[in-house]
């Protein structure tokens, strides 16, 4: 499984132009509208330093806005810009094309069985 991930991730990043971690951050922001950086970090399950680094780069590229809570400077709120929203939609479309390519020549029955197996595997890992 690790070998499969190791081979797929660079191809995914070349295809979509973005890392899976960064896409997860952006997708969560897309769904949440505005969220504290701490909540975001918990939802995407990426360490604090990495989330901060990703957000700084995304802010520099004009995709996100960060602002301090005026009542409590310990909290930073994050949200997508309009450009960020458009780019997330494009990234998600590209991800779907990538997945379709990966599953090329799989029947619907095989796709369904694979999804079932992976879901069960994930559940077993979470229950460990």
Alpha-carbon distance 39 to 106, whole Å? 37
pLDDT at position 95 is: 83
Tens of pLDDT, residue by residue over 42-97, are 999 999 999 999 999 999 999 999 999 888 888 999 999 999 999 999 988 888 88
User: Shortest CA distance to 54 belongs to which of 26, 33, 94?
Assistant: 26
Q: What is the pTM of this model?
A: 0.75
User: Shortest CA distance to 27 belongs to which of 75, 87, 68, 115?
Assistant: 87
pLDDT at 2 over 70: no
What are the backbone angles phi and psi of residue 78, rounded to the nearest 5°?
A: -130, 140
Q: Which CATH class is domain 2-127?
A: mainly alpha
For 22-71, the three-class secondary structure string (H helix, E strand, C coil) is HHHHHHHHHHHCEEEHHHHHHHHCCCHHHHHHHHHHHHHCCCEEEEEECC
pLDDT at position 1 is: 61
Going by pLDDT thresholds of 50, 70 and 90, the confidence category of residue 14 is confident
């Amino acid at each position: 499984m690790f070998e499969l991930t190791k081979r797929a991730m660079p191809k995914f990043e070349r295809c979509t132009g973005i890392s899976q971690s960064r896409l997860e951050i952006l997708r969560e922001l897309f769904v949440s509208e505005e969220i504290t950086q701490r909540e975001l970090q918990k939802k995407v399950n990426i360490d604090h330093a990495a989330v901060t680094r990703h957000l700084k780069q995304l802010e520099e590229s004009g995709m996100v806005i960060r602002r301090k809570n005026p009542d409590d400077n310990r909290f930073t709120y994050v949200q997508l810009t309009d450009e960020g929203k458009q780019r997330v939609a494009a990234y998600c479309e590209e991800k779907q094309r990538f997945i379709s390519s990966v599953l090329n020549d799989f029947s619907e029955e095989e796709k369904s069985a694979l999804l079932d197996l992976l879901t069960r595997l994930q559940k077993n890992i979470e229950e460990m």
